[in-house]
Amino acid sequence: MKKSTRQVRSSQTIGATTRLFKLIPLLLGVTLVVATLIFFNFNRASIYNELATLDLVPKPEKLTELYFDDSANLPSTAKSNQVINFAFVIHNLETTDYQYIYRVSLIANGMMLLVDSGKVSVKNDQYYVKKEQIRLLSSTGGQEVVVELTNKQQSIHFWIGR
């Protein structure tokens, strides 16, 4: 039996309509994704600020490095009353300029002698090198040299004659 032209056109229309209805969810999905991307792009700063408020955005770590310059060549032996030289370095990674309070001490026989102290302002991501020259105590046994950043609760030390 032959189909009439009207029946052929009707079945083609139904097929096209079915394909169109299958495309509608895809088109709606693509439209939703594009609209979301446009929204996020225009509101990027406020979204970032909200995420930062909720601590969902990584923050730079704030820290200070304190170490001896040329630590491999720190004096390990010396005579009583001998003058020794060394230097310490403060590296500011606090993400802002910072004022450090330092103290250099010499400890021997349970006694502590303050050798040097001061304040120094170090700009963010900059280094400060402090050269020290100290005279050892006339003491038998080891002597400990201590460098402290008192407002950061950080310290480093080395021993002489231990």
The CATH number covering residue 145 comes to 2.60.40.10
- pTM for the predicted model, two decimal places: 0.67
**Residue 16 has what pLDDT?**
65
Domain match, 72 and 131 both: yes
- Residue 83 included in any domain: yes
Q: How many domains does the chain have?
A: 2
Using N-to-C axis directions, what is the helix angle for 5-42 and 44-53, rounded to 10°?
A: 60
The domain in which residue 77 lies consists of: 63-160
Is the pLDDT at 134 greater than 70? The verdict is yes
Residues 7-49 have pLDDT tens digits of: 545 556 666 677 767 778 888 888 999 988 888 788 888 888 8
One domain for residues 110 and 34? no
Count Cα atoms within 13 angstroms, Cβ side, for 6: 0
CA separation for the pair 100, 64 (Å, rounded): 10
Classify residue 95: in a domain, yes or no: yes
The better pLDDT of the pair 28, 127 is held by: 127
What pLDDT is stored for residue 18 in this prediction?
72
Whether 44 and 89 map to the same domain: the answer is: no
Strands 98-108 and 143-149: antiparallel
Shared domain for 45 and 89, answered yes or no, is no
Residue 145 has pLDDT above 90, yes or no: yes
Highest mean pLDDT, choosing among 5-14, 54-63, 83-92: 83-92
